[in-house]
Every structure is written in C-alpha cells, then in structure tokens.
Structure 1
Amino acid sequence: MNNQIFPGFGWSLHGDGKTIRPGAVVTPDERLNWFQTLGIGAQHVVAMFGATFLVPLITGFPPSTTLLFSGIGTILFLIITAGRVPSYLGSSFAFIAPVAAAMGSYGMGGALGGILATGALLVLIGVVVHFAGARWIQVLMPPVVTGAIVALIGLNLAPAAWGNVQGAPITATVTIVSMLVAGVLFRGLLGRLSILLGVVVGYFVALFRGEVDFSNMDPALHRVFDGDLSALLQVKWFGWPQFTAPEFHIGVLGLFLPVVLVLVAENVGHVKSVALMTNSDLDPVTGRALMADGLATMLAGSGGGSGTTTYAENIGVMASSRVYSTAAYWVAGAFAILLALISPVGQLIATVPNGVLGGAGTVLYGMIGILGVRIWVQNKVDFSNPINLAAAGVPLIIAIANFTMIFGEIELEGIAIGSIAALLIYHVLSAIARWRGTDVGVEEGDDAALATPVNRDDLEKMHNDDAR
C-alpha cells in the first residue's frame, strides 16, 4: 500500500525489492530496495548531465546554479504531479536562442526575466488544461505546426554553433565525431550517453591542445591538478552557487514567450510517453505536469538557472531498467542538488572550451531540427497538401534567416516570428479553405497527434538493445 507522507513521496515495495518478473514493470508508486533505487537514481543523473550542463555553458549561465534548480525543480514536479509522472526536469534547449539574444541587449538579468515570464505563461496554460482538458492543444498545434516549431528552433541556432566551431575547429570536429560514433558503437545506456561521452573526449583533446582555461578556478584546486596533493586540504569543497536576480524588460517577451509552445509539446508528449510505457491513464495529470514545469522554470529564472523541461534522455533509463518509480527521481533530484553544492564540480564544468561547445552544439541543434522532421514523419503529415507545405516551409526560412521585427520596445526574432507564422499560416489557410470549399484535407485535431519523446517502436528498440 502507498503510504504517502505528502504528494509524490512514499512507495510500496515491488515484489521482494530485488527482482522484476519478466513482462512486469516497477510502477511510479512502487520502488525496489533502496540500494538499487540509489543506483538507478544515479543513472538518471548521468543520463541528464551532458545535455543539462551544456545549456548554461552555451548561454553563459553558471552551470552549478542551473544544476541546483534542475534538482529542486525535479522534486517540485514530483510533488505537484503527486508522484504519478516520473520525470527529470533538465535544461531546455528551446531557451538557448532567446537567452543569447536577451543577454546581448539586456544582460543576464534580462534573460532571467524572460525565463520567469515563460514559466508563468506555462503555469497559466497548465491551469487551463487542468480544468478544460488538453484537446484544445492538439487542435491549436497539429503535428505539422508542432514539427515546424521544433525544427525551426534547432535550425535557427546553426550560426551560434559555427561561431564556437571557428575558434577551435579540430577540437570541435573530434567532439562531433566522438558523439556520432558513440551513438552507434555502444548499446543500451552508453549509447544514450553519446552527448556526454563526446564532450569528455573533446575535453581531453582540448586539454592536449592547451585550449582549456583554468584561470578562474580555485587556486588550491588548480595546484591539485598540477600535482600538489597537499593543496587538497585548502580546496573549498562546498559552497552555494552564484545567484542572479531577474530584471523585467518588455522587450524580451517577444523573444521568450513563443518558447512556451515547445515546452507544452514536450511536457504533453512526455506524459503520453510515460502513459504508454506504464499502460496507465495520465491525462488527468497533464495540467499538473505543465504547471509543475512552469513553476520550476519560474524558480530557475528567479535565481539564475536555465529554463527546464521534461527530459527524453531519462526515458531511455526507464525503458531499459523497466523501473518507472518516482523514488529514483527523488534520488536523482537530491544527487543533482548535492553536485551543485560541490564547488569543484561547477568549476570544472565551467572550463569546457568553445571548441567542445561548438562541436556539441552542431550535433544537438541538428538533432533538434530533425526531431521536428521526425514529428512530421511519425504523424504522416501530408505535404501534398499546400496548407501543410506552407505551414512548415515558410517558418523554417524565417528562422534560418532570423527575420527580425521591432515594435517599440518589443523585438521579435526568427524563432518568435517563425512560431507565430506556423500557427497563423496553418489556421488562417485552413479557415479560408473550408470557407471556399477548396479544402484539400485539413488535419483534424487528434488526441494522439502531439509528438512524444519516444513511441512504441522506440521502446521495443530500447528493450532489444539492452537485452543484447
């Protein structure tokens, strides 16, 4: 029986706590023994780590601060969803472009204000979904629109990747090759950690080439790396990360608020994926999931962390282990908080050089772009339909060229204009087609139409890879 002390905390023991019967899964309200739960929680930390710390490094945010709010946000998510949706909240790549743009005009405080505003809008949407249901999201964002918005975010970031690659092309190339090879060389968890493995390989190459700057590191820790082990006693091992207060400028709203469309798709998709994996109905907690991620994003924006989202990386860990226990995510959240408070961890992460970031960005931004295409393929979007063709094609060009429009203090760039264009083109052209009787197959709202991080075929492949 599940004796919860408060929502999201308290689990019944699965079987003997050691083994999982063939065909069975450990459900969100169950757990294995604490030794195994700790191990799986550590796996979740490793799975999210590479992607989560890359976002603050690329945007110039303190990595330790992002890691701290990531752990706190995960625990907040588990409480708000009453422990029904296992998920880790990591850094969202959808924030990279607006943060970079805001940093240039308004500094870090202005970027944090945009993150906080995005989180507030997501909370509001979560409240609406909780009381009105999620069907209107599918109607507003059919697969052709969702895919276009996801794709244009990745493609809009291409110049940022090139800017970092130019500084150290050899290191960037090695990082790219390492990520790609790791993804096909290893099976199971290692294969899904290709981002982290590629960054580690690239980092060692950068070390060999003298591209890593240790000047901002604790002098005592620097001496330890130089071989002076006596300096270990002088290292400051624990400390609070750097906090920064948000600033509010109306000009950042046009940059950030379209990001909420991606966060909605990611969160709804994650809930659908977990429901598929656990064979349960999680539609009643979809609104809670959106509210929880919104609150976690607001919390991060209030103190200096990156905006958060549910992480597909951790779905791989659940699929391979067949453990969907939220106890493992409590452990992961606690581990992330602990790592954030260990000062040398943040200092080491901050030394990752631009060449490595450029290589990682090239792979990640490309994958984000193709994920949008994957949404179209999975949902069989018909591009012989001129409405779909326009709703997908025009926004991509707007994002790649980074169209910019200024209305007073509000500046809209490629992602914002492209996202708005995708919505307007699809819905306006569909309305005209219906009115004129020239409708060539306007898509109807589909409860299963939003992209999910994984589908049934993905789950079967994960199980097969880990069984080998």
Structure 2
Amino acid sequence: MALWTVHGDGRITDGDAIAPEERVSWPLTIGFGAQHLVAMIGATVLVPAATGLPVSTTLLFSGVGTILFLIITRNRVPGYLGASFAFMAPLAAARGEGVAAQLGGVVAAGLLVIIIGVAVKALGVRLLESVMPPVVTGAVVILIGLNLSHTATTSFSKQPLLAVVTMSIILLCGVLGRGLLFRFSVLLGVLVGWLLGLVTDVLDTTALASAPWFGLPELHSPELRPSVTLLVLPVVIVLVAENVGHVKAVATLTGRNLDGSVGDSIIANGLSTALAGFGGGAGTATYSENIGVMGVTKVYSTAAYAVTGVTALLLSFSPKFTALLSTIPPGVLGGATLVLFGLISLVGVRVWLENRVDLANPGNALVGGAALVAGVGDLRLTLGDMELGGLVWGSLLVVILHPVLRWLRSVRES
C-alpha cells in the first residue's frame, strides 16, 4: 500500500484541501516541502546558536525527529519537529556547565516526555480531557502564537522595508491569489524578500563564502547532572502542552478528531528530543510556524513534511547550504512570522469557539486570562540561576492551575 494516495490527478485546484494521507504530484509536494523548510529554518538555527549547541547537529536531529514523528503518528498528524524555544532559557543558564551537561538535561526531558506520552496513550482520551480540556489546549495554542509574536516584531523592526515587502507578498497571494500563487504564498514572499535583501546588499554572506560544501555534523555525548536536569524539567510541561495544542490545532484545521493521536505525538516528540540530546542537538518541539503555513495553504499532506525532514537531514551534512539558509535577512523572517504567528493564535481561538468554551465561567476566564497575559507580556522570573520566560509561566499557569481550581470548585459545591 502506498504511503499517500494521490489527490485527484496529482494537481491542485482552488478550494481544494489536501488531507494528511494525500499528496499531489511530487514536484508540487517538493515545493510545499521547501515552503515548510523556509518557515522552520529561522528558529532551528536561532535556538542552538543562542545556547551554544552546534547548528548542523540540531538540524540533523530535527530532520530525523520529523521523520520519526510522521512514522509514529502513522501519517495522521502533519508536523515539523524543530529546535524548541522552551529549551533556550535552561540551556543558556547551564551553558557554563559545558555541552555534555546541557545535553544530559535534554535527554532527561525527552525520556520524561516519552513516559508521559505512554501514559496518555495507555489511559486514553479520558486522561487528556481531564487534564487538558479545550479551554486549556486552546489557551496553549493562542499562547504559543502570541508569546512568539515579539520575535516577529523585533525582526520586523530591524529591516522594515524587507519585512513589509515579504508580508505584503504573502497577504496579497494568500488573500487574492489563485492556484499556485495562493498555495505558495509564504515561499514566494520569503523568496522575494530574500532577493530584495540581496539587491540592497543587506545579506551577510561572510560565513557562506568560507563554508565547505560537505562536512559531518558535530556530535557530542550527554552527561547527566542533577543541577542541570532540574533546570530543564519545567520544559517537559511546556512540550506536552505544545504537543496537545498542536494536535488540537491540526484537528481544527482538518476537521478531524485526532485525540487518539495525542499519545503518539507526545511519544514521538520525547523520542526526538532524547535522540537529539544523545547526539548533540537542542530539544525539539512541533512548530507553530508550520501550522501557520498549513492554515494559509490548506495543504496538510504529511508527504510535504517528509520532504522537509529528509531535506533538513541532508542539509545538515552541507555547511555551505546551512550557511546559505542563515543568510535569510531578519526582516524577511519578521514579515513572514508576523502573519504565521498571528494565524496560529487564531487557530487557538477556533478551538475555543468550536468547543463552545464558556468564557463566563470564572475558572476559564481568570486562569486563561492570567496565562495569556503572562505569555504575551513575556513574564520573566528567576529561579536560582535560571530565568524562565512567558511561554513557560503561561503554560504552567493554565495546565496546572485550571484542573486544580476546577477540582477545588467541585469539592466546594459537593
């Protein structure tokens, strides 16, 4: 049996939505994979660069992790596993301990995520609904998009011209375009902005010129240290919440019930993170940027993600190509992510609307509101030597406080 059924005759027409188990012609599928590659590359380069881990190795394990994700979720959940922003604070705080100690924390987090995924898969949807009902998952999806919005606006403000051009191309093609102009709106916007950056001489090509064409990713071995492991453990809650939010977002976009795939998704993310830690890469998470691309294009094919994963794996062996991708100007990334992060936030709102979440309920309104403000305002508090940001605190608030307060209220009313 083929991994994917061919949609129609392999072509795509206006109004078509390509299901996860479908694909179009391979040339178009490769194009959609390139679009996902462009969407994910900024964060996958930024996270290891900020934490002192090798970029090529992180790219390698993000590609391997994405392929494993598609296999473990049995082609039901389209998604890309790239370097997680949630790891930035603890890994940066542990940078003085050395790469091996940082990787030990990543491995520990990945293994714990696998255990949680196995529990969710064994106990089923009831556990999911009791701990993370729609009000929680919708809030996490909104939180992810809005918390990352400051990275988009910061990049946007660095090169406003490139950002405006990139965003305008995406919006014009996405709203007014037909056929392939509509489907490839994100890729076209980034390419036009990138070329404009080349013409206006704002691209930094220093590293590109000196990078070799071929080279092995830099591998490291982990070392478990309790001090570093404790720094990284809060990330586990964020990763689980992000995975549940990712599956809910994809279910909302595709109109399918994917609750049965949540356990598989969490297990896959945990395995990808653990493998990255064993080899030298940053921990991984499902990427909201790529959900945004699906929301714009209505192409949910896992074949496109398979292309992206294989491409990332191959590119990790070419320092020249990774250096080329790193020349994408900040303004171009800012213009694209301004649209994509906004779209993923609205997908979270759709989760609330379609599940008829009662925002008049004090538990929903107060906890959800506090979590969103913590995330959007990027609340930063220091625990020991580690500073945790709004994504962590917002997720902790809504994932932990909501079920606890709901239980306390039920006890009071009983």
TM-score range, shorter chain: 0.7 to 0.9
SS at match of 1:73: helix
Whether the 8 Å contact between 1:72 and 1:333 is mirrored in structure 2 is yes
The partner residue of 1:429 within 388, 405, 412 is 405
Higher radius of gyration, 1 or 2:
1
2:40 is aligned to 52
2:284 is aligned to 307
Whether the 8 Å contact between 1:254 and 1:416 is mirrored in structure 2 is no
The partner residue of 2:389 within 413, 431, 450 is 413
2:177 is aligned to 186
- How far is 1:346 from its partner? 1.2
Please list every run of 5 or more consecutive structure 2 residues that lacks an aligned counterpart in the other structure.
none
SS at match of 1:402: coil
Aligned-partner Cα distance in 2 for 1:137–1:75 = 25
1:73 is aligned to 65
Matches within 5 A, 1:373-388: 373-388=349-364
Please list every run of 5 or more consecutive structure 1 residues that lacks an aligned counterpart in the other structure.
3-10, 222-235, 439-468
Deviations 1:412-462 (A, max 9, x none): 432222222213442233234333439xxxxxxxxxxxxxxxxxxxxxxxx
Matches within 5 A, 1:81-96: 81=73, 83=74, 85=76, 87-91=78-82, 95-96=84-85
Question: Number of paired residues?
Answer: 398
Aligned-partner Cα distance in 1 for 2:102–2:189 = 29
Letter in 2 for 1:304: G
Aligned-partner Cα distance in 2 for 1:161–1:275 = 26
Q: Using structure 2 for the length normalisation, give the TM-score.
A: 0.77
Deviations 1:361-386 (A, max 9, x none): 43333333333223222222222222
Q: Does 1:216 align with 2:207?
A: yes
Whether the 8 Å contact between 1:214 and 1:351 is mirrored in structure 2 is yes
> Closer, same or farther in 2 for the Cα pair 1:313/1:239, shift >3 Å?
farther
Q: Does 1:101 align with 2:101?
A: no
Whether the 8 Å contact between 1:114 and 1:256 is mirrored in structure 2 is no
Aligned-partner Cα distance in 1 for 2:164–2:127 = 44
- How far is 1:141 from its partner? 0.9
SS at match of 2:286: strand
SS at match of 1:257: helix
> Closer, same or farther in 2 for the Cα pair 1:242/1:356, shift >3 Å?
farther
CA RMSD of aligned residues (A): 4.1
Deviations 1:180-210 (A, max 9, x none): 2232233455434433322222222222222
Range with bigger deviation, 304-313 or 190-199: 304-313
2:379 is aligned to 403
> Closer, same or farther in 2 for the Cα pair 1:251/1:373, shift >3 Å?
same
Identity of aligned residues (%): 35
1:341 is aligned to 317
Q: Using structure 1 for the length normalisation, give the TM-score.
A: 0.69
Letter in 2 for 1:184: V
Letter in 1 for 2:244: A
Letter in 2 for 1:68: L
SS at match of 2:208: coil
> Closer, same or farther in 2 for the Cα pair 1:188/1:137, shift >3 Å?
farther
- How far is 1:128 from its partner? 0.9
- How far is 1:332 from its partner? 5.4
- How far is 1:160 from its partner? 3.1
1:239 is aligned to 215
Q: Does 1:297 align with 2:276?
A: no
